[in-house]
């Protein structure tokens, strides 16, 4: 009897191994090797413009603080001077003083337009870090074949390439097949309600539904998939939500010489601790599943085996993803306390303790789900949870088979040799979310490579990236008439 059972188990094991191996060897969907186009050189004036743009301090401080309007007017004047044809030939609408929408009329009115967007505001430089920069943060210094300064990546590094591309094409008397809108918000870093939201609202009122809306977000990486030995273009097809909650506890305080067993601070810190002990469930979203399936076949044997047999190895994969805080965030709704307030004096037990918990929720985890999870985890009615006004749920996911996504994949092949384009879910938020109701073709992508220093120290953009980005937008506009779907599925390049 025992022998029989052992025999059956052995047979089962052999079958299992066979299935795993067969799946692994069949998991070879070739990622096309395609040659990129030769990139045209750029003018010195383009680099000068980029440097000049950085020098103008269009800074968004906290939402409640006023912006330096003089700098924003200066930036407008700079744009008018640097891009005369754009301003002569494309009608400009101004929204809330400093956000701009340009319209470039296309030849074919039957084609739904494209919206190419970027934001002109930048985050401040923390005073404490200013002297840790290699150059003055707003100097726009050019050194080591890079342009340096706050905003050179995020997001003037998109604004200027877009305008260089358009100015260049206007100079050649080019007219796009379809209408192109250029949308430049001025308050993305403080939620974009005056800029992108107002512009998106205008589209809604006009009942214009763009085929493609492209904004910052994903980019090309040569660092994040070392096993693949090929650059990967992460095309953002959706973004996580942004939820902040205030947690507050009120409990009579008093003299610190006679503390009760529990104070407001105690209760709140326990609640925060409990929140950090467990995550909301692991979720495989459509973009991440597709990303894994695209890169999987190019991976070394062990990784390939795991990815080809996710039905069996998912627990192992999950553990691997959760080990790293970045990959963990791609598969979980995250929550973390970011502000804590209580107390006024060392000998007074405070009556009130409050904290802000910031959450980034996955598509499918709604604000209500997050609140329910928090309540369950904290399990203490004395902790009040209040949602902040700015909260937004995750964006809808742009279909991987949409014309918009395929278009951007196709452009990636053209500007980056041997690239592997993959869909991807953004962990941060962008202005494009305001267009959720306006278009089904929202893509978050810029053709930079592993951008450095945005929102931090030594923000810098290699001139080679700057040049590729101008080329990317130029091609996007030039090829706005073609459908691309057939082009994308062309056979792999034979000489590779
Ligand atoms: Zn940005």
DSSP string, 39-88: PPP--HHHHHHHHHHHHS--B--STTSPP-HHHHHHHHHHHHHH-HHHHH
Mean pLDDT of 64-86: 93
Give the pair of three-digit tokens for residue 133: 């920069």
Q: How far is the CA of 32 from the centre of ligand 1 (A)?
A: 31
Question: How far is ligand 1, taken at its centre, from the CA of residue 269, in Å?
Answer: 33
381 alpha carbon – ligand 1 mean position (Å): 38
Q: What is the pLDDT of residue 183?
A: 98
**What's the gap in Å between 488 CA and the centre of ligand 1?**
29
Instruction: Give the pLDDT of residue 70.
Output: 94
Burial (CB count within 10 angstroms: exposed 0-12, middle 13-18, buried 19+), residue 391? middle
pLDDT of residue 143: 95
- Report how far ligand 1's centroid is from the alpha carbon of 433 (Å): 12
- Kindly report, residue by residue over 247-292, the tens digit of the pLDDT: 999 999 989 999 999 999 999 999 999 999 999 999 999 999 999 9
pLDDT category, 490, cuts 50, 70, 90?
very low
- Which DSSP category does 201 fall into? H
**Distance from residue 122's CA to the centre of ligand 1 (Å):** 8
Residue 494 has pLDDT above 60, yes or no: no
Strand pairing partners for 236? 424, 444
pLDDT at position 389 = 82
- Find how far residue 241's CA is from the centre of its chain: 11
User: What residues contact residue 134 under an 8 Å CB cut-off, 6+ apart?
Assistant: 148, 458
Is residue 485 over pLDDT 50?
Answer: no
- CA 275 / ligand 1 centre spacing (Å): 29
Mean pLDDT score, 49-72: 90
The pLDDT tens digits for 112-137 are 999 999 999 999 998 889 899 999 99
**Which among 171, 160, 195 has a CA at the least distance from the CA of 46?**
160
Percent share of the chain, pLDDT over 90: 82
Ligand 1 centroid distance, CA of 451 (Å): 12
Q: What pTM was estimated for this model as a whole?
A: 0.90
Residues forming beta bridges with residue 346, ordered by sequence position:
none
CB 354 within 8 Å of CB 342: yes
8 A C-beta contact, residue 196 and residue 99: yes
The catalytic residue positions are 121, 188
End-to-end CA distance of the chain: 57
Inter-residue contact 295 to 420 (CB < 8 Å): yes
CA–CA separation, 274 and 76 (whole Å): 49
**Spacing, Cα 216 to ligand 1 middle (Å):** 6
Backbone angles phi, psi at 271, to 5 degrees: -60, -45
DSSP H or E stretch at residue 118: strand 114-119
Residues near 267 by Cβ (< 8 Å), separated by ≥ 6? 249, 251, 353, 380, 382, 383
Tokens for 482, please give them. 């073609």
- Given a cut of 80, whether residue 168 has pLDDT beyond it is yes
Let me know how long the chain is.
496
For ligand 1, the distance from its centroid to the CA atom of residue 260, given in whole angstroms, is: 47
pLDDT, tens digit, 9 for 90 and up, residues 170-218: 999 999 999 999 999 999 999 899 999 999 999 999 999 999 999 999 9
């Amino acid at each position: 009897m025992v022998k029989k059972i052992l025999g059956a188990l052995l047979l089962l094991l052999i079958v299992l191994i066979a299935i795993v191996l067969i799946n692994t060897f069949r998991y070879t969907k070739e990622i096309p090797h395609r040659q990129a186009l030769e990139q045209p050189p750029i003018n010195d004036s383009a680099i000068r413009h980029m440097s000049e743009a950085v020098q103008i301090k269009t800074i968004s401080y906290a939402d409640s603080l006023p912006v330096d309007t003089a700098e924003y007017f200066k930036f407008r004047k700079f744009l008018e001077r640097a891009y005369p044809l754009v301003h002569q030939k494309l009608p400009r609408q101004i929204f809330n003083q400093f956000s701009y929408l340009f319209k470039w009329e296309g030849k074919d009115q039957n084609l739904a337009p494209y919206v190419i967007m970027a934001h002109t505001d930048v985050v401040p430089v923390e005073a404490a870090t200013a002297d840790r920069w290699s150059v003055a943060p707003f100097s726009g210094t050019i050194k080591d074949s890079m342009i340096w300064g706050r905003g050179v990546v995020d997001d003037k590094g998109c604004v200027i390439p877009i305008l260089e591309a358009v100015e260049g094409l206007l100079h050649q008397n080019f007219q796009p097949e379809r209408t192109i809108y250029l949308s430049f918000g001025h308050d993305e870093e403080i939620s974009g309600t005056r800029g992108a939201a107002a512009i998106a609202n205008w589209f809604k009122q006009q009942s214009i539904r763009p085929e493609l809306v492209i904004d910052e977000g994903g980019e090309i990486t040569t660092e994040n998939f070392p096993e693949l030995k090929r650059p990967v273009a992460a095309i953002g097809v959706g973004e996580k939500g942004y939820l902040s909650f205030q947690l507050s506890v009120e409990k009579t305080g008093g003299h610190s010489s006679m503390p009760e067993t529990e104070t407001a601070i105690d209760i709140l810190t326990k609640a925060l601790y409990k929140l950090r002990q467990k995550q909301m469930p692991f979720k495989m979203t459509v973009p991440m599943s597709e990303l894994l399936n695209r890169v999987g076949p190019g991976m070394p044997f062990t990784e390939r085996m795991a990815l080809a047999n996710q039905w069996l190895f998912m627990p192992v994969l999950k553990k691997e993803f959760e080990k790293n805080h970045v990959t963990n965030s791609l598969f979980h709704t995250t929550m973390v306390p970011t502000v804590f307030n209580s107390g006024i004096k060392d000998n007074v037990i405070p009556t009130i303790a409050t904290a802000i918990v910031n959450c980034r929720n996955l598509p499918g985890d709604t604000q209500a789900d997050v609140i329910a999870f928090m309540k369950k985890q904290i399990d203490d009615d004395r902790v009040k949870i209040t949602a902040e006004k700015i909260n937004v749920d995750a964006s809808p996911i742009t279909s991987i088979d949409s014309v918009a996504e395929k278009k951007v994949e196709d452009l990636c092949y053209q500007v980056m040799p041997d690239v592997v384009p993959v869909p991807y879910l953004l962990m941060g938020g962008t202005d494009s979310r305001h267009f959720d109701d306006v278009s089904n073709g929202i893509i978050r992508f810029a053709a930079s490579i592993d951008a450095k220093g945005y929102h931090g120290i030594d923000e810098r953009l290699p001139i080679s990236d700057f040049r590729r980005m101008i080329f990317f937008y130029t091609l996007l506009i030039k090829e706005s008439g073609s459908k691309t779907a057939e082009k994308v599925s062309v056979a792999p390049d034979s000489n590779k």
